[in-house]
Amino acid sequence: MDILQLFGQQSSFDIPTIITSALGLVFACVYLKPQGKTERAVIVSEFLLLLQSPLMMAALLTTGATSAGVVGLRSAFVLLAQLLRVALSAMLFVVIASAMTEGRDASRRVLAPYLAPAALMGVCLLVPQTRDLIYTVSPEGDLVFQGGYALMTALSAFYTMCCLAWEWRYRKMTPRVTQLAVGVTVFVAVLFAADCLMGTRLVPFGLSVAFTVFVCAMGQIYGDRWESENAALARAATTDPLTGLLNRRG
């Protein structure tokens, strides 16, 4: 009964995350289709969120099991969920960097140094000796955080600072996108802080909401831009550039 109660509590966070992430995938395909790099980054992020929530629910269902096979399966679920957390921390920065530069400066070569810490943390999680310094799974199937788990929090803080740095650097290039990106970054940073201090477990759901709102807002920004550009082209095609009067076509 205790396990069912825990599962119900976890589901109250994970099921809304799955629904919101699925909506975010749909919105990304509809609203960000012309923006290649930003769209791909958002789709990957939402897909990772879709994977993480079922993994955490599956791991919770195996809590309290004593057989070696079930404990090993839970360990695998927890490992994959932690790897996805690392990837999502990096993907938040990739989304912001792609949106701020409209994909121009978000090349693989430029982003590689920024993504190196996440890759290193992933390797540490995959190696049993270093993973035991971050977290362990007890024979009863309980997840026990070790001192090295603080590195996961530090990694999230690092990518939050990277987002803010890029938003400051390119703030004049895309003012409206900057306001949106700063809002998303601060929102996610508050969620990470609340999760660390109070254990709210709202980070995955908050990320799914943030990405969905980001996609819808970016679609509106791009739509307004295209309308203004089309209107400018129409005026240029139908007016005389010297006098401003209608030309023969107008």
CB atoms within 10 A of CB 193: 15
User: Which residue in the block uniquely carries the two structure tokens 């975010």?
Assistant: 24
CB atoms within 10 A of CB 218: 24
C-beta separation of 141 from 129 below 8 A: no
pLDDT-derived band at 198 (thresholds 50, 70, 90) equals confident
Contacts of 119 (CB under 8 A, 6+ apart): none
Question: What is the SS3 assignment for 172?
Answer: coil
DSSP string covering 25-82: HHHHHHHSTT-HHHHHHHHHHHHHHHHHHHHHHHHHHTTT--SHHHHHHHHHHHHHHH
Question: What is the SS3 assignment for 247?
Answer: coil
Residue 234: its pLDDT value, please? 61
Tokens read off for 77: 């679920």
What are residue 66's phi and psi, to 5 degrees? -110, -15
Could you read off the pLDDT of 43-93 as tens digits, one per residue? Answer: 888 888 888 878 877 777 766 656 667 777 888 888 998 999 899 999 999
Could you read off the pLDDT of 158-197 as tens digits, one per residue? Answer: 999 999 999 999 988 888 889 989 999 999 899 888 888 8
Confidence check: pLDDT of 1 > 50:
no
C-beta separation of 218 from 183 below 8 A: no
